[in-house]
Amino acid sequence: MSSPCHILALDQGTTSSRALIFDHDGRIVAGAQKEFTQLYPNPGWVEHDPRELWASQRAVITEVLAQSQLAASDIVAIGLTNQRETTLVWDRVTGQPVYNAIVWQDRRTANDCAQLRSDGHEPWITAKTGLRLDPYFSATKLRWILNNVPGARAGAEAGRLAFGTVDSWLLWQLTGGRVHATDVTNASRTLLCNLNTGDWDDELLTLFEIPRSLLPQIRSCSEIYGYVGTELKVLAGVPIAGVAGDQQAALFGQTCFQPGMAKNTYGTGCFTLMHTGDQPVISHHHLLTTPAWKIGGRTEYALEGSVFIGGAAIQWLRDELQLVRDAAELDRLAESVPDAGGLFLVPAFTGLGAPHWDPFARGTMVGITRSTNRAQLCRAVIEAIALQTADLIRCMEKDSGLPLRELRVDGGASRSAPLLQFQADLLGVSVVRPRCIETTALGAAYLAGLATGFWSSREEIASHWTIDSTFKPQRPPEEITKLRANWDLAVGAAGLYRAHDDSRGTYRA
């Protein structure tokens, strides 16, 4: 029998579950993807059915093994990566969720966060966690479940319930309920983990009224967590050896191993991370300080900026407005015009993320004229994605003192040439797309492979990173300066509208 020679990466995202198999050169051998249902029970609420998350993940595992004609004996290890902040609570005895997963995009606890901020808690929370007080993170979502689901708080205080982000839920399922754990990158997104100690913080648990018994064990990103149970026969006995939140996994997959290296993922949202070294850099420009990964007892850090609506704006144009059939048509239309004709779209559909952190802002279009057309709107959507990313990088350079030399990009929308060209024009540096843009899954695979000796070192991993396309800046700086100034005005207009829980809203004075 030959030795196992592949790594399986499970990538549980916001809209779909995926499974990809990589060989030793970091090339994709096979892949499978399955979308799952997005639930919107109230305005501003976003949920997933935890059972469907697991069912879809199981389905793609079975599919990718059949497609590749590989068995469990061919898989060295499993790497796991996931949408972060999404919050689940389940019964330890029955294994059943007590409520739907509350997704990172969900804004139901915006008023709770505003009250905590008004009470003066945000400065010390940021000092402990590197995060902002925002409904984006898990703590207020978890408290909402405990306070609003009948019997949940009593069950939690009795030690019967378990909390986790999506990685913990999948670990629990994969191991047949034998492992309740998370890694430091996911733990750091909960508002409950101390950035300096890497452990759950008692003061934060008290503030958010979270019983410690709910919480998973925090572990490193590259180690053997456990083994797939016999409940999933097609993978029984395979070690789960790498876990990281999707954006940290993508940073690792892009081999951004040195301070100053940065990547942007153009997914449902846009997520920019810059490696800052082995000491956390506290942001003075409203970014997040986060662990990049922990390997072999050593934690490295990053600055992160999160844009809530990135590629989702393209989906909105396609599905809700029905102005294009697919992303390829949007690109063709966007390239058919030299610019957006003075039109700016601020896609604050679920509020504004970094560096603004305004959960009450709403989407805005400014600069509409009688001649504004479909192609210009397509162009404005692409430009909005790049402009939001440029705002984040400007803040990162100020906070870190590290000038950006190039931006490595991945995610579904990174296939868009007009988007990447405009991004390069805005930043004034090259934008580089690697041959493998599945860097989130690839990063999870690399972490699992390091833990099991499949790859010997980061240097070996970096040798597999290859360039597909490089986009260099073409537009004059003075033109970009004017465009960004007008964008800033448009963002200000998005913040004038104050949305309420009743979805009606009023204008702010």
Tokens of 43: 């305005």
Gap between the Cα atoms of 377 and 246, Å rounded: 30
Q: What is the 3-state secondary structure (H, E, C) of 361-416?
A: CCCEEECCCCCCCHHHHHHHHHHHHHHHHHHHHHHHHHHHCCCCCEEEEECHHHHC
Strands 262-266 and 298-307: unpaired
Write down the mean pLDDT value for the chain: 91
Range name among 164-178, 192-206, 487-501 with the lowest pLDDT average: 487-501
Could you tell me which of 142, 17, 37 has the C-alpha nearest to residue 82?
Answer: 17
pLDDT for res 2 = 60
pLDDT value at residue 505: 40
pLDDT, residue 412, reads 83
Say if residue 196's pLDDT is above 60: yes
Mean pLDDT calculated for residue range 377-382 = 93
Give me the phi and psi of 14, to 5 degrees please.
-75, -30
List, as one string, the DSSP characters of 310-336. Answer: SHHHHHIIIIIS---SSHHHHHHHHHT
* Domains of the chain: residue spans and CATH: 6-245 (3.30.420.40)
pLDDT for 354 equals: 79
pLDDT of residue 413: 85
If you write DSSP's letter for every residue of 420-433 in order, what string do you get? HHHHHHHHTSEEEE
Alpha-carbon Rg for the chain, nearest whole angstrom, is: 22
d(CA 162, CA 96) in angstroms, rounded, equals: 10
Say if residue 502's pLDDT is above 50.
Answer: no
Q: How far apart are the first and last CA of the chain?
A: 73
Please say if the pLDDT value at position 91 is more than 60. Answer: yes
For the stretch 334-375, pLDDT in tens is 999 999 999 999 998 888 887 888 878 888 999 999 999 999
Residue 227 CA to residue 174 CA, distance in Å, equals: 8
Q: How confident is the model at residue 503 (pLDDT cuts 50, 70, 90)?
A: very low
Entry pTM = 0.87
Give yes or no for residue 261 having a pLDDT over 60. Answer: yes
pLDDT at 436: 86
Is pLDDT of 509 > 50? no
- Per residue in 459-474, pLDDT (tens digit) is 999 998 999 999 999 9
* pLDDT at residue 438, rounded to an integer: 86
Distance CA 77, CA 227 (A): 9
Asked if pLDDT for residue 4 goes beyond 60, the answer is yes
Give residue 445's pLDDT band: very low, low, confident or very high (50, 70, 90).
Answer: very high
Is residue 498 very low, low, confident or very high in pLDDT (cuts 50, 70, 90)? low
Angle between helices 374-400 and 327-335 (to 10 degrees): 90
